[in-house]
Amino acid sequence: MRIAFLGLGIMGKPMAQNLVKAGHELKVWNRSPGKVVEGAHSASTPKEAAKDAEIVWLCVSDTKAVEEVLLGSNGVIESLKPGTTVVDSSTILPDASLKFAEQVRAKGADFVDAPVTGSKVGAESGQLIFIVGAREETFEKLQPLFSVMGKSAVRVGANGKGLAAKLSMNLMIALTYEGFAEALVLAKKQGVDLKPLLSLINQSMVRSGVVDYKAPFVMARDFSANFPMRLMHKDIHLMLEAARQNGVKLPGLETVDKVYESSTREGNADLDYAATLMTLEKAAGVR
């Protein structure tokens, strides 16, 4: 298929690369020059990339970025043709996504929110999970592309529902990792050796995918970004805003938000969100 892929960050670049490897014809675009995908044509604007594309796929940071890429000057909307499908894998507010969907549909194209889970490792290995809000027939049409970039795709409901589900799942990731990090700090401060503790965690009911993914990085003290703290903090703000809009109280998440604020003040925003551990260590006087 002819696919425009917009946003070649930690997630977007390997996703686009996997589409090229599967034989699709790609035009890619990234805001800052210099990011390219082997085997793909690089376009100079989103408008140019989207011209003649059957599918336009976005994976950029936040709501403002999606708005600029879609609706800004030289944006996708300027060359969008009826029959095209726009798929957005960025994590943004469901409300904002619904407004983008309306504007895309007004051009005779279709719109899908398809945020992902699986992080950098999942994107590189084609093992992402797509969490989808879409019309059923559009979801079915996209299956071959989901299966190139991911191990599964689940349609949660109509537009916006993929993002609503994604925010709820990321809430669990933020809280689970915080629980893991706090447990490590408390154990270490009490003089517990962390190797047997990790073995215990992995044998017991507190084992989790979050711990499986993060523990090797934490034990190696590798806090380079798989999922940058600035993006998880952005997601925490999206969750709190979605909670406010829907009359839900999230006291655990409000507390975790404060840890992220401290860690950001300490200069950790571009590190992985696992670096919140260093903020807890600092407060406890332990490493």
Q: Rule CB under 6 A: which residues touch ligand NAP?
A: 7-12, 30-32, 35, 59-61, 64-65, 68-69, 90-91, 116-117, 119-120, 226-228, 231, 235
- Report, in Å, the least distance between residue 96 CB and ligand NAP: 12
List the beta strands (DSSP E) in 33-149. Answer: 41-42, 55-58, 85-88, 110-113, 116-117, 128-133
Closer to ligand NAP by CB, 243 or 286: give it.
243
What stretch of H or E contains 186? Answer: helix 161-189
- Report, in Å, the least distance between residue 143 CB and ligand NAP: 20
Under the phi-then-psi rule, with left for phi > 0, alpha for psi from -120 to 50, and beta for the rest, what region is 35?
beta
Closer to ligand NAP by CB, 185 or 263: give it.
263
- Report, in Å, the least distance between residue 13 CB and ligand NAP: 8
Under the phi-then-psi rule, with left for phi > 0, alpha for psi from -120 to 50, and beta for the rest, what region is 11?
alpha
Question: What is the spatial distance between Cα 234 and Cα 231, in angstroms, rounded to a whole number?
Answer: 5
Label the pairing between strands 116-117 and 128-133.
Answer: antiparallel
Give the helix ranges, DSSP H, for 75-160: 94-105, 119-124, 136-149
- Report, in Å, the least distance between residue 16 CB and ligand NAP: 11
Site of tokens 């999922």: 227
Known catalytic residues? 166
Closer to ligand NAP by CB, 32 or 203: give it.
32
Closer to ligand NAP by CB, 65 or 185: give it.
65
Closer to ligand NAP by CB, 6 or 280: give it.
6
Cβ atoms 74, 46 nearer than 8 A: yes
- Report, in Å, the least distance between residue 33 CB and ligand NAP: 8
Question: What is the spatial distance between Cα 164 and Cα 157, in angstroms, rounded to a whole number?
Answer: 10
